[in-house]
């Protein structure tokens, strides 16, 4: 809460954080930001959007690098931005058009290919991670 300034218009989070692997208290961050009317975005790449439900924890904008878990074959450069409401889409959606960003049909096809095995790969990843961690 102490980090919010009068001109703060967005709180950007990444949990776990790259490099530090710090796991943030997302609901507490959301509560502090929303109390000031500030939306919260989360880089949810590490959970593949599967192991952490950003929207259930109050996040307004959830983004993911689809390059890794979703792609699954190291041949894709793609990302996603998802929002929790029509109102948030109105704020964020036009940015993509304004900046001229778009996803190619080929990249979307590769992402769809990766999604077919995502569940199996995540299961294996979680089992291996827990075996190493425990």
Ligand X SMILES: *Cc1c(COP(=O)(O)O)cnc(C)c1O
Using CB under 6 A, list all residues that contact ligand X.
Answer: 14, 18, 43, 45-46, 65, 67-68, 77, 79
CA distances to 22, 23, 63, 82, 89 from 86, rounded to whole Å, are: 31, 29, 16, 11, 5
Q: How far is the CB of 119 from ligand X (least distance, A)?
A: 20
User: Nearer to ligand X by C-beta: 34 or 68?
Assistant: 68
Tokens of 16: 């776990």
* Kind of pairing between the strands at 11-14 and 79-83: unpaired
User: Nearer to ligand X by C-beta: 14 or 32?
Assistant: 14
Q: Which residues contact 27 (CB under 8 A, 6 or more apart)?
A: 57, 58
User: Nearer to ligand X by C-beta: 77 or 112?
Assistant: 77
User: Nearer to ligand X by C-beta: 46 or 52?
Assistant: 46
Q: Cα 80–94–86 angle (5° rounding)?
A: 75
Q: How far is the CB of 7 from ligand X (least distance, A)?
A: 25
Q: How far is the CB of 93 from ligand X (least distance, A)?
A: 20
Q: How far is the CB of 58 from ligand X (least distance, A)?
A: 20
């Amino acid at each position: 809460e102490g980090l919010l300034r009068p001109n703060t218009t967005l709180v950007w989070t990444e949990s776990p954080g790259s490099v530090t692997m710090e796991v943030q208290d997302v609901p507490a961050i959301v509560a502090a930001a929303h109390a000031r009317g500030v939306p919260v975005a989360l880089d949810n790449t590490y959970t593949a959007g599967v192991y952490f439900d950003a929207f259930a924890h109050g996040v307004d904008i959830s983004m993911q690098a689809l390059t890794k878990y979703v792609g699954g074959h190291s041949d894709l450069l793609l990302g996603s931005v998802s929002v929790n409401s029509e109102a948030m889409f109105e704020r964020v959606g036009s940015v993509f058009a304004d900046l001229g960003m778009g996803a190619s049909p080929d990249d979307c096809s590769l992402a769809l290919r990766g999604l077919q095995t995502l569940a199996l790969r995540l299961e294996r990843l979680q089992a291996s991670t827990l075996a190493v961690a425990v």
